[in-house]
Amino acid sequence: MTQDELNEVLKSHKLWLDTKGEEGRRVDLEDSNLEGLNFSGSDLRYVNLRYVNLRGTDLEGTGVYFFKGPGHHGIYNSKDDKLYIGCQVHSLDYWLENYVYIGRRYAYTDEDIEVYGQWIKSLKELK
């Protein structure tokens, strides 16, 4: 995807957000290669980022934070307070209270759970 193509997709998504789905189109970036693209100032609420390659992507100002975890990657969207790790999607507060339980339930090592926990806690400090 080129930057111009991305800008058009994001413009349509913004219209979709502004009109509550009456106009424009909800963006779905699943399986997209976004390497090197700039998302500064973009509103990415409700965006499907499953299997997206974000290497080299500038997400500054979007409220989206990406984490390459030891197992699954994590994506946090501060605008809708959703943290995605693997197939789990919860609010940041829910993760803070339950990340140890979730990690053990899915057979993460204690070290992995600690890494995710530190990242989750650092996200809370950003709010």
> pLDDT averaged over the chain?
86
Whether the per-residue pLDDT at 48 is higher than 80: the answer is no
Confidence band (pLDDT; 50, 70, 90) for 35? confident
Identity of the amino acid at 117 = G
Q: What is the dihedral of CA 41, 46, 50, 53, to 10 degrees?
A: -10
How many C-beta atoms surround the C-beta of residue 29 within 10 A? 22
The whole-model pTM stands at: 0.62
Between 54 and 126, residue with greater pLDDT: 126
Identity at 48, one-letter amino acid code: N
Sorted by where each begins, the domain ranges of the chain are: 1-62, 65-127
More confident residue, 72 or 110: 110
pLDDT at 64 over 70: yes
Q: Supply 110's token pair.
A: 């204690």
